[in-house]
Structure 1
């Protein structure tokens, strides 16, 4: 197989375990071996495998019962279980399938049979996971279409109506209400654009970084009373992975401002400085003591990790009651 399998083998006989591990390791598979049903359950829950090979007759809890327990666990129930046993009666095999097993190999087992059955079920399990992921993607696409076609259009219409009435309405009190409605609908539209990007990962790849940052700025304007300043070089183009990090860092920095800063002024800047693409997100809010552990500011830790993924530098300047300045710089390769 091109991709090695992650397999859990459960058997109270060390000799059988060693033989299974040897056969599967030669095929490149990674095998964890345990000698009891209870240990097998613990191992599966700690790090779910792609496939389980299991003996039936074990002293603490037999393989049938282990399989039944696995099938009641939401995270483990779809993992294929192949029983390996010296029991060769039809009733034993029927019981194995009734308990949730997907296949049955009789001891003493044939090496080729073990390999073929294991790799067939690994492939089937991976196809199942792919189909589940595809179904999730299709559902996200459907939700995104519904939001775009219904909610998004309704918000846009309400915004246009409020803007039109502002022009014709003579009463100042009513005009103030219309301004507020217009502001709220604009904010909701910005939130909707961001949500649609989250639902459609390909939109994050296709949309220019400058446009993505403008969406975040619009959302910030709608969700806070801060004056948001935007200065973005629209000509900047980055590889999808790098662009995603820039977007996520800006998103996290703005979320931190919303949650903690109580800022009245916020800035989002993107430009080319001496061969580096530099993102700067700043505010004039409450700030914090930079000598505190980063673990006290989870958003910062996440941004540092993201910057490291693309080899970018990440710096943050802050002081109590003096705002915060977040800077992400990425060297453009020649």
Structure 2
């Protein structure tokens, strides 16, 4: 793989020197920009930062030392390497050049081979730094992923495994004590084992799904989706769980609502996570309401409370809400609700990785939508998310 040549800026107030250096570097395949003075150089650098700057010292107006010092004082430009090119060959001039932040110094009259070698040396260093930064970033991401799995194994997965193991060991002890080859298991014990297995499976699915999203391995299977039909099926399937929690779910989604462009399995997961989260963190007797409607970008701003993304302005969106009349939460509790590992106050009494709402955000953002919550203490919570309306002309091409 051949590395691309660098983007260079040559700064010199002597036009002949500027032309000579530019032609020399351009012939070697570098992209070269020119500036005749320090002021022009600073403006050019602020617009498009170069990879390396070749900077003359003795210029009218702002000299090279001042230009370099200004660059090094700026967080956005301080890492750009500056090579001084000057007729000044006194040792003090060179020392000052390095003191203000220069990385190299070439004396005039310069040799083409020397200039190319010093420029290429700085570009190589820059490439190595970028590669190292990327490796550090990937290593941190890997370490973070490992911490998730260690956390899951040591805390979340350990408890249901221990619970199920205790039940099975007690059954074995009972069988040995009574000297029986077969053991009768009550429905209550079976329900405990099944519940433990279900908790383990949910935790494992959350871990795998989180990793897939972060590694870019999950591809949405987006099709035209009828939210009315989806919400009706969801309501029917959740009736036994709602009955157990003495909860009520009202679905107020019109059959006339335009279809959305979405992955039905992933969207089902979002609704389930939101429903499970609401039931888990509220007392029995909760009333939940699902709604969906088409919104203009202006109305959407009432939910997002921030500037609308360009994608939301260019695309018709549907906003879905899941509201409850539960205990709600304050702004501080809601602030990091969709971050990984975040758990609500009531989650300490239940098993979970704190990945449910994080996965909801990942899924909705993968669809090109947004997700959030509107809530106040003792006033319930309203979770909302947006999805693009299916555009026959655009989405079938």
Structure 2 residue 292 is matched with structure 1 residue 285 = yes
Asked whether the equivalents of residues 83 and 103 of structure 2 are also in contact (C-alpha less than 8 Å), the reply is: yes
Instruction: Provide the C-alpha distance between the structure 2 equivalents of 1:152 and 1:208, rounded to a whole number of angstroms.
Output: 27
Asked whether the equivalents of residues 51 and 123 of structure 2 are also in contact (C-alpha less than 8 Å), the reply is: yes
Secondary structure, in 3 states, of the residue corresponding to 1:33? strand
Change (3 A) 1:289 1:73: closer
Quick one: which of 274, 291, 298 aligns to 2:310?
Answer: 298
Aligned partner of 1:221 in structure 2 is: 272
Aligned partner of 1:277 in structure 2 is: none
Shift of 1:216: 6.1
Shift of 1:225: 8.0
Shift of 1:94: 1.3
Change (3 A) 1:120 1:297: closer
Aligned partner of 1:102 in structure 2 is: 103
Moved over 6 A (4+): 158-165, 188-191, 301-304
Instruction: Provide the C-alpha distance between the structure 1 equivalents of 2:264 and 2:18, rounded to a whole number of angstroms.
Output: 55
Structure 2 residue 46 is matched with structure 1 residue 45 = yes
Asked whether the equivalents of residues 190 and 219 of structure 1 are also in contact (C-alpha less than 8 Å), the reply is: no
Structure 1 segments unaligned to the other structure (5+ residues): 170-178, 227-262, 266-283, 305-313, 315-322
Asked whether the equivalents of residues 57 and 65 of structure 2 are also in contact (C-alpha less than 8 Å), the reply is: yes
Shift of 1:303: 8.0
Asked whether the equivalents of residues 297 and 308 of structure 2 are also in contact (C-alpha less than 8 Å), the reply is: no
Specify which structure has the bigger relative contact order, considering alpha-carbon pairs within 8 angstroms and separated by 6 or more residues: 2
Aligned partner of 1:123 in structure 2 is: 124
Instruction: Provide the C-alpha distance between the structure 2 equivalents of 1:220 and 1:124, rounded to a whole number of angstroms.
Output: 50
Shift of 1:138: 0.6
Secondary structure, in 3 states, of the residue corresponding to 1:286? strand
Instruction: Provide the C-alpha distance between the structure 2 equivalents of 1:118 and 1:213, rounded to a whole number of angstroms.
Output: 54
Change (3 A) 1:290 1:72: closer
Asked whether the equivalents of residues 315 and 388 of structure 2 are also in contact (C-alpha less than 8 Å), the reply is: no
Asked whether the equivalents of residues 50 and 80 of structure 1 are also in contact (C-alpha less than 8 Å), the reply is: yes
Instruction: Provide the C-alpha distance between the structure 1 equivalents of 2:298 and 2:65, rounded to a whole number of angstroms.
Output: 56
Instruction: Provide the C-alpha distance between the structure 2 equivalents of 1:19 and 1:289, rounded to a whole number of angstroms.
Output: 57
Shift of 1:118: 1.0
Q: What whole-Å deviation, never above 9, does each CA across 1:39-96 have from its counterpart, x for those lacking one?
A: 2222222211111110111222221222222223223222211000000111111111
Structure 2 segments unaligned to the other structure (5+ residues): 168-186, 190-194, 222-262, 278-287, 300-306, 317-366, 368-385
Asked whether the equivalents of residues 155 and 189 of structure 1 are also in contact (C-alpha less than 8 Å), the reply is: no
Instruction: Provide the C-alpha distance between the structure 2 equivalents of 1:152 and 1:215, rounded to a whole number of angstroms.
Output: 25
Asked whether the equivalents of residues 88 and 106 of structure 1 are also in contact (C-alpha less than 8 Å), the reply is: yes
Instruction: Provide the C-alpha distance between the structure 2 equivalents of 1:222 and 1:193, rounded to a whole number of angstroms.
Output: 16
Aligned partner of 2:12 in structure 1 is: 11
Q: Within 5 Å, which residues of 2 pair with 1:1-334?
A: 2-151=3-152, 154-156=155-157, 168=188, 193=208, 195-197=210-212, 200-201=214-215, 204-205=216-217, 214=265, 217-223=268-274, 285-289=292-296, 298-300=310-312, 326-327=389-390, 329=395
Instruction: Provide the C-alpha distance between the structure 2 equivalents of 1:330 and 1:302, rounded to a whole number of angstroms.
Output: 17
TM-score (norm 2): 0.50
- Whichever of the two has the greater Rg, that structure is 2
Instruction: Provide the C-alpha distance between the structure 1 equivalents of 2:161 and 2:270, rounded to a whole number of angstroms.
Output: 18
Q: What whole-Å deviation, never above 9, does each CA across 1:125-152 have from its counterpart, x for those lacking one?
A: 1111111111111111111110122147
Instruction: Provide the C-alpha distance between the structure 1 equivalents of 2:265 and 2:55, rounded to a whole number of angstroms.
Output: 55
